[in-house]
Amino acid sequence: MARVVRRGFTVLALGVALWCLCGAIHRTGWPAGAFVAWADAPIKVLNNAHAATFGREMRFSLEVESEHPIQSVVLAYRTSDTGGTTVETMSVVPDTSLRLEFVHEMSRRYVRPFVQVSYWWTIVDASEARLVTEPQQFTYADDRYEWQTLGGDRANVHWYEGTVQVAQQSLDVTTKALNRAQEEIGTGEDARRASSTGVVDVYLYANNGLTLHVDPLSKRNL
């Protein structure tokens, strides 16, 4: 028998979390054109892939070749809820063809569910030719549950246990909080930044917890 999430606690927690979100909502995604791929000599990426197992790991893999031995490969990645970038210098034996893999273990560093992960590689060969790949992006999703979604103009509520009435109540509270935040911000630069952050996704967990996610790539504005 499904256990319904207690409404009062969920709504209270949501309201508090949303006000915290509004204080930091000015953060936007990465600048357009910040990453450019180029090569002074033919460096070819044959495979650039990722895989994630929720709660365990994120795996980044690269297969690359060049006319000259590849001497340096660096992986950089970041998540949408932080401003920092993780940089990992791969251990390589110089060769014209390489297959590399890096594993981010969740037991060593936690990553919040449903954040956007962006990653790119920098490759340098013996001729000093350099290739910086375009960023690849994916969502680190909690796929343990079958999520249902209730959508609105400014927010989406996702849940897997409980009733649609609870989801609707959460969506109503979220929408009201966003409207109030927009009124508080007013107009000008702060309002422009807030509107650029896109749709808010709210994930309701049956343990009375929740996760908030602002999709910086969404074209729907506050």
pLDDT tens-place string over residues 105-132? 999 999 999 999 999 999 999 999 999 9
Count of domains for the chain: 2
Q: Does the pLDDT of residue 159 top 60, yes or no?
A: yes
Q: What is the CATH number of the domain that holds 101?
A: 2.60.40.10
**pLDDT 10s digits, 173-199:** 998 998 888 787 765 555 555 455 578
Judgement on whether residues 122 and 47 belong to the same structural domain of the protein: yes
Q: Are residues 124 and 148 in the same domain?
A: no
Q: Which residue has the tokens 């009124």?
A: 183
Using CA atoms, how far residue 214 sits from 80, 98, 197, in Å, is 8, 37, 7
- Torsion (CA) 200, 83, 188, 201 in degrees, nearest 10: 0
Domain that holds residue 165: 7-29+144-214
pTM over 0.75: no
Is residue 217 pLDDT above 50, yes or no? no
Q: What is the pLDDT of residue 182?
A: 79
The CB-side HSE value for 203 (13 A sphere, CA atoms) comes to 15
